[in-house]
Amino acid sequence: MPIPDPSEGSGDARLIASVLLDAALCVDCIMKKTSLAAQRFYVALFIIAQTRELEISRSRCSDCMITKHVYKLR
Ligand SMILES: [Zn+2]
């Protein structure tokens, strides 16, 4: 995976952070809510993980209610 350019992905990272502030969401729901393609999503997630405490756990998604890996900001 190429090293992401933070200046390019920071807007995406902010977008993802904003939906993860009050909900624990799975990848599918984050992509649905942010309309990001998978490639940009993972780059932005990488940026968030460098600057914020990103918690990944197996639990119920706040949106689709399916138990799978969900992301949450602490
Ligand atoms: Zn979900």
CA of 27 from ligand 1 middle (Å) equals: 7
User: Phi, psi at residue 59, to the nearest 5°?
Assistant: -160, -175
* CATH class of this structure's domain 6-73: mainly alpha
Which amino acid appears at position 30 of this protein?
I
Radius of gyration for the alpha carbons in the chain, expressed in angstroms and rounded: 12
- Rounded Cα distance between 51 and 17, Å, is 11
CA of 22 from ligand 1 middle (Å) equals: 14
Model pTM above 0.75: yes
Which amino acid appears at position 3 of this protein?
I
pLDDT digits (tens, 9 = 90+) for 17-73: 999 998 999 999 999 999 999 999 999 999 999 988 899 999 999 999 999 999 999
CA of 24 from ligand 1 middle (Å) equals: 8
